[in-house]
Chain A
Amino acid sequence: MSNSVISVISRFLEEYTTSTPNKLKVVDAYLLYILLTGAFQFLYCLLVGTFPFNSFLSGFISCVGSFILAVCLRIQINPQNKGEFLTVSPERAFADFLFAHTVLHLVVVNFIG
């Protein structure tokens, strides 16, 4: 059982490294970084406590929000998904990404207190 799971994972990783274009790999690296940042924040909150709760929340939501927006960007610039996004060209996707990040970070900065 575990053998098959490990082999599945290794095959998946191999297929991932060969078949995904570089643009998407950059986005995936960014996603990993955001994930680690969010995990660290959560770990800190568990260890030290939630005293300025709004600050913790704004930081954590900033991580989650950046992650989600990067995933949306990845979906929209993936050439395999082109049939589904007729109005959204990759440039438009990136512009939307920047706009969404502006709004998100303005609110996060307001909420951090």
Chain B
Amino acid sequence: QNLSFQLNYPHESSASFSPNMAEHHTVSECKHKANPNAGGSLSGNGLSGGLTQPAGWQSLLSFTILFLAWLAGFSSRLFAVIRFESIIHEFDPWFNYRSTHHLSTNGFYEFLNWFDERAWYPLGRIVGGTVYPGLMVTAGLIHYLLNLLHVTVHIRDVCVFLAPVFSGLTAISTFLLTRELWNQSAGLLAACFIAIVPGYISRSVAGSFDNEGIAIFALQFTYYLWVKSVKTGSVFWTIGCCLSYFYMVSAWGGYVFIINLIPLHVFVLLLMQRYSRRLYIAYSTFYIVGLVLSMQIPFVGFQPIRTSEHMAAAGVFALLQAYAFLQYLKDRLTKQEFQTLFFLGVSLAAGVVFLTVIYLTYTELGCLYLYSVYAKIHIPIIASVSEHQPTTWVSFFFDLHILVCTFPAGLWFCIKNVNDERVFVALYAISAVYFAGVMVRLMLTLTPVVCMLSAIAFSSVFEHYLGDDTKRENPPAEDSSDEDDKRNSGNLYDKAGKVRKHVSEQDKPEEGLGPNIKSIVTMLMLMLLMMFAVHCTWVTSNAYSSPSVVLASYNHDGSRNILDDFREAYYWLRQNTDEHARVMSWWDYGYQIAGMANRTTLVDNNTWNNSHIALVGKAMSSNESAAYEIMKSLDVDYVLIIFGGVIGYSGDDINKFLWMVRIAEGEHPKDIRESDYFTPQGEFRVDKAGSPTLLNCLMYKMSYYRFGEMQLDFRTPPGFDRTRNAEIGNKDIRLKHLEEAFTSEHWLVRIYRVKKQENRQPLEHKLRSVLAKQKYTSKKKGKKLNKKSV
């Protein structure tokens, strides 16, 4: 508790600190027998730097630690840039990059009203209305400002390095939030944790230009401003919270989490009888101004007053108005019986209103919660996304290491010393744990609260085991001064010595701490933290730093072998095809094709139109003639597939093929049946024993065209697929309507050109049969016709 000095912000008056400090004080007095002198110096410090020297050093230390946390977070996200180059990773960031490029070249209004006809070929996409513009606007603004100052950076570099820079800001806002919840030392620990924790790094490495990079910063900052506004009850902080909430709505679809957690917090506080006027001011202002701000984003539109996800906020708003009004009346009316009559009547009305709202929404909300479970299993396109799979225990430990073990301890500390804002963080923790268990992707929402609560746990432990020495000296001095009055002053030091031993002996049974135990525990905690740092760096380096556009493999001697097939193929497309050519591929690669090759695609990662994707899936799974009909109807010029059989790449299209079949079967159940592609025994095989439908479908033919002639090494037969570890069944593939246009160096990307229809259709007629007819002698007079057989 000695370490919890506050930074001296000039505009904050001291009075706001004293309630907090009083609270912390009572807590610490229960726990550690804090010295009243130390308490006096604490409250005095908040005022005017009565002890300027320690306060100054404290501020400097905090500033340095936060700066180092920012630097650590920034540097540990740069592995991919150092190993490869500054390139946009994965799939989704390519679309964000393309939009940002469009924004920076054409201006803000062009971006907001952009209709992209080069995506989803015949349909197009209204980008302005279907995207969260916060990320693009942030990157565009930074690019604009830097260029205004004549620091000419390319937009790609701004996009690549945006997420690491914002990770530092996230660390600072986590520090602010934890400081509001607990104290400054816990805040510093939380900032350091979130700077390097792998759960957050996975979505914010340099190059991963995605919404989560800025959304987590907006989330933490909004929560900090919310806690601040509940604590102070000032409308200024609440409007700040609304503006930060507006930024969050513009940045990520996960804003729904905020607009449900804050009403839940208010509701639980009402249930816990912790209603206060500050709470009323904070929530009412936040709801109304936040509502109108959130509707400014075109993608969100009128959803906040229509969909069920936002109804909880409205319900709590109505409830809070009713509750506040009743409180006001209660203060006014003194007569018990009239008041209860009035109270009963109005509360019944409010209850009925609230219940109808809840009933209407829970019938939908219940469906919504179940929908996530239903959708995962039954809608193939959602089920097929790897990020939507349930989380395993391994991912919890992998992403959070020791924080996942210490975070329940922090949660318990918060619940034990409860006040309004710690209720908030407890609810945040519980809901985040639930969601993280549902989908791997939502581990990201769990990470900030785990960092905060673990920091609280660690901070409490360190305080308990580090901070007791200085407090011990004073009580013995006081006791000795009492005893001195009774005894000779000449024996002062002896007496003090005796008294000190006496007091410390009394202390021992109560505290049970000796210097040995304290140093052992401190050493253990420090070792845990060091192992955490090592683990985080190792995980970042090995698991989360691959650009996935460029593959790297390491030879036996450690030298690196780079497989740049993707970019090679996309650049071939860019340079060798007509500008308005249309490329058909599976939806995974849509954004990359649009970003790197700059060609029109049929389906991409936005996956908003399931029927269109099903059509592409049907084309891939039918035989060549049926597929050609579909490709003609969609004006396809090129087909692009990924084939990993030569190098053993397991993320290729044959491995994804069953998902294509399932999605196609969902829309065209009469034409495509999943069971056709399996052997009679139920196996999915590509060798001779594979099902004939599979061996003749378009995807198979395109993947293995001319692969039967290729022998990878002398031990395996020609046409041996390294990924499936099988020799392919159909080696003699002839393509009638397609011709091979490009195959990359390691056969990873294969591009086929769709041939135009023949000018003259060859007639399908049977060959004339040669029959040995019997000689027919005609009885008629006349010339014998020469019955020659042809």
The docked-state distance in angstroms from the alpha carbon of A62 to that of B295 is 13
Over the window 56-98 of chain A, the binary record of Cβ atoms lying under 8 Å from chain B Cβ atoms (1 yes, 0 no) is 0110011011001101110110000100111110001101110
In the assembled complex, the CB of B457 is this many whole angstroms from the nearest CB of chain A, namely 30
**In the complex, B288 has a CB within 8 A of chain A:** yes
The docked-state distance in angstroms from the alpha carbon of A36 to that of B97 is 49
**In the complex, B84 has a CB within 8 A of chain A:** no
The docked-state distance in angstroms from the alpha carbon of A71 to that of B317 is 14
In the assembled complex, the CB of A35 is this many whole angstroms from the nearest CB of chain B, namely 12
A53 and B342 contact, Cβ closer than 8 Å, known pairs A71-B284, A85-B233? no
The docked-state distance in angstroms from the alpha carbon of A54 to that of B329 is 35
Q: Tell me which residues across on chain A come within 8 A of B372, comparing CB atoms.
A: none
A107 adjacent to B281 (CB under 8 Å): no
Q: Tell me which residues across on chain B come within 8 A of A1, comparing CB atoms.
A: 341
Q: Of A7, A92, A100, A111, which one neighbours B239 at CB under 8 angstroms?
A: A100
Over the window 296-320 of chain B, the binary record of Cβ atoms lying under 8 Å from chain A Cβ atoms (1 yes, 0 no) is 1000001001000000000000000
B338 adjacent to A8 (CB under 8 Å): yes
Q: Closest chain B residue to A19 by CB distance?
A: B332
B13 adjacent to A87 (CB under 8 Å): yes
A81 adjacent to B277 (CB under 8 Å): yes
A88 and B296 contact, Cβ closer than 8 Å, known pairs A4-B338, A72-B281, A75-B281? no
**In the complex, B71 has a CB within 8 A of chain A:** no
The docked-state distance in angstroms from the alpha carbon of A26 to that of B13 is 30
In the assembled complex, the CB of B638 is this many whole angstroms from the nearest CB of chain A, namely 43
B278 adjacent to A85 (CB under 8 Å): yes
Q: Tell me which residues across on chain A come within 8 A of B278, comparing CB atoms.
A: 84-85
Q: Tell me which residues across on chain A come within 8 A of B242, comparing CB atoms.
A: 103
Q: Closest chain B residue to A96 by CB distance?
A: B235
Q: Tell me which residues across on chain B come within 8 A of A5, comparing CB atoms.
A: 338, 341-342, 345
**In the complex, B276 has a CB within 8 A of chain A:** yes
A61 and B19 contact, Cβ closer than 8 Å, known pairs A12-B333, A84-B276, A100-B239? no
B281 adjacent to A58 (CB under 8 Å): no
Q: Tell me which residues across on chain A come within 8 A of B291, comparing CB atoms.
A: 61
A68 and B302 contact, Cβ closer than 8 Å, known pairs A84-B278, A97-B235? no
Q: Of B19, B238, B277, which one neighbours A75 at CB under 8 angstroms?
A: B277
**In the complex, B371 has a CB within 8 A of chain A:** no
A75 adjacent to B292 (CB under 8 Å): no
Q: Tell me which residues across on chain B come within 8 A of A33, comparing CB atoms.
A: none
Q: Closest chain A residue to B238 by CB distance?
A: A100
A104 adjacent to B15 (CB under 8 Å): no
**In the complex, B234 has a CB within 8 A of chain A:** yes
B292 adjacent to A111 (CB under 8 Å): yes
**In the complex, B655 has a CB within 8 A of chain A:** no
Most A CB contacts (10 A, CB to CB) among B242, B289, B342 go to B289
Over the window 749-773 of chain B, the binary record of Cβ atoms lying under 8 Å from chain A Cβ atoms (1 yes, 0 no) is 0000000000000000000000000
Q: Tell me which residues across on chain A come within 8 A of B235, comparing CB atoms.
A: 69, 72-73, 76, 93, 96-97, 99-100
Q: Of B15, B289, B329, which one neighbours A107 at CB under 8 angstroms?
A: B289
In the assembled complex, the CB of A84 is this many whole angstroms from the nearest CB of chain B, namely 6
Most B CB contacts (10 A, CB to CB) among A1, A72, A73 go to A72
Using C-beta atoms within 8 Å of the partner chain, give the interface range for chain B. Answer: 35 or more
The docked-state distance in angstroms from the alpha carbon of A85 to that of B342 is 29
A57 adjacent to B302 (CB under 8 Å): yes
Over the window 234-257 of chain B, the binary record of Cβ atoms lying under 8 Å from chain A Cβ atoms (1 yes, 0 no) is 111011001100000000000000
A87 adjacent to B16 (CB under 8 Å): yes
In the assembled complex, the CB of A77 is this many whole angstroms from the nearest CB of chain B, namely 12
The docked-state distance in angstroms from the alpha carbon of A72 to that of B232 is 13
The docked-state distance in angstroms from the alpha carbon of A110 to that of B171 is 33
Q: Closest chain B residue to A71 by CB distance?
A: B284
The docked-state distance in angstroms from the alpha carbon of A69 to that of B339 is 28
In the assembled complex, the CB of A19 is this many whole angstroms from the nearest CB of chain B, namely 9
The docked-state distance in angstroms from the alpha carbon of A76 to that of B232 is 11
Q: Tell me which residues across on chain B come within 8 A of A76, comparing CB atoms.
A: 233, 235, 281
Q: Tell me which residues across on chain B come within 8 A of A57, comparing CB atoms.
A: 292, 295, 302, 305
The docked-state distance in angstroms from the alpha carbon of A71 to that of B295 is 24
**In the complex, B504 has a CB within 8 A of chain A:** no
**In the complex, B293 has a CB within 8 A of chain A:** yes
In the assembled complex, the CB of A95 is this many whole angstroms from the nearest CB of chain B, namely 8
The docked-state distance in angstroms from the alpha carbon of A48 to that of B277 is 38
The docked-state distance in angstroms from the alpha carbon of A86 to that of B278 is 11
A103 adjacent to B232 (CB under 8 Å): no
**In the complex, B45 has a CB within 8 A of chain A:** no
**In the complex, B67 has a CB within 8 A of chain A:** no
The docked-state distance in angstroms from the alpha carbon of A61 to that of B239 is 15
Instruction: Name A2-16 residues within 8 Å CB distance of B.
Output: 4-5, 7-8, 11-12, 15-16
**In the complex, A108 has a CB within 8 A of chain B:** yes
Q: Tell me which residues across on chain A come within 8 A of B12, comparing CB atoms.
A: 87
Q: Closest chain B residue to A80 by CB distance?
A: B331
**In the complex, B285 has a CB within 8 A of chain A:** yes
B239 adjacent to A99 (CB under 8 Å): yes
B15 adjacent to A87 (CB under 8 Å): yes
The docked-state distance in angstroms from the alpha carbon of A9 to that of B15 is 40
In the assembled complex, the CB of A76 is this many whole angstroms from the nearest CB of chain B, namely 7
Q: Tell me which residues across on chain B come within 8 A of A61, comparing CB atoms.
A: 288, 291-292
Q: Tell me which residues across on chain B come within 8 A of A88, comparing CB atoms.
A: 232-234
The docked-state distance in angstroms from the alpha carbon of A43 to that of B242 is 29
The docked-state distance in angstroms from the alpha carbon of A57 to that of B303 is 12
A87 and B288 contact, Cβ closer than 8 Å, known pairs A100-B239, A107-B293? no
The docked-state distance in angstroms from the alpha carbon of A84 to that of B236 is 16
The docked-state distance in angstroms from the alpha carbon of A62 to that of B341 is 34
A104 and B305 contact, Cβ closer than 8 Å, known pairs A5-B342, A99-B239? no
In the assembled complex, the CB of B304 is this many whole angstroms from the nearest CB of chain A, namely 10
Most A CB contacts (10 A, CB to CB) among B15, B16, B233, B276 go to B233
The docked-state distance in angstroms from the alpha carbon of A12 to that of B334 is 10
Q: Of A8, A73, A75, A100, which one neighbours B333 at CB under 8 angstroms?
A: A8
B284 adjacent to A68 (CB under 8 Å): yes
A58 adjacent to B288 (CB under 8 Å): no
**In the complex, B280 has a CB within 8 A of chain A:** yes
The docked-state distance in angstroms from the alpha carbon of A86 to that of B21 is 14
In the assembled complex, the CB of A42 is this many whole angstroms from the nearest CB of chain B, namely 14
Q: Closest chain B residue to A8 by CB distance?
A: B338
A65 and B292 contact, Cβ closer than 8 Å, known pairs A86-B15, A88-B233, A100-B239? yes
A87 and B296 contact, Cβ closer than 8 Å, known pairs A100-B285, A103-B239? no
In the assembled complex, the CB of B301 is this many whole angstroms from the nearest CB of chain A, namely 9
A86 adjacent to B234 (CB under 8 Å): no
Q: Closest chain A residue to B237 by CB distance?
A: A96
Q: Of B302, B333, B335, which one neighbours A53 at CB under 8 angstroms?
A: B302
A111 and B295 contact, Cβ closer than 8 Å, known pairs A72-B284, A81-B277, A103-B242? yes
B289 adjacent to A103 (CB under 8 Å): yes
In the assembled complex, the CB of B90 is this many whole angstroms from the nearest CB of chain A, namely 35
The docked-state distance in angstroms from the alpha carbon of A92 to that of B16 is 14
A86 and B296 contact, Cβ closer than 8 Å, known pairs A5-B342, A92-B234, A103-B242? no
In the assembled complex, the CB of A5 is this many whole angstroms from the nearest CB of chain B, namely 7
A86 and B16 contact, Cβ closer than 8 Å, known pairs A100-B285, A111-B296? yes
* Complex A-B: 23 CB contacts under 8 Å: A5-B338, A8-B338, A12-B332, A12-B333, A54-B295, A57-B302, A58-B292, A61-B292, A72-B284, A75-B281, A76-B281, A84-B233, A85-B278, A86-B15, A86-B19, A87-B13, A88-B232, A92-B234, A96-B236, A100-B236, A107-B289, A108-B292, A111-B295
If A15-B332, A57-B295, A87-B232 are given as contacts, then 14 extra A-B residue pairs at C-beta distance below 8 Å, sorted by A number, are A8-B335, A8-B339, A12-B329, A61-B292, A64-B288, A65-B288, A68-B284, A69-B235, A72-B285, A85-B233, A95-B236, A96-B234, A100-B235, A111-B292
Closest 3 CB pairs of A and B: A96-B235, A8-B338, A87-B16
Instruction: Give chain A's interface residues, CB within 8 Å of chain B.
Output: 1, 4-5, 7-8, 11-12, 15-16, 53-54, 57-58, 61-62, 64-65, 68-69, 71-73, 75-76, 81, 84-88, 92-93, 95-97, 99-100, 103-104, 107-108, 110-111
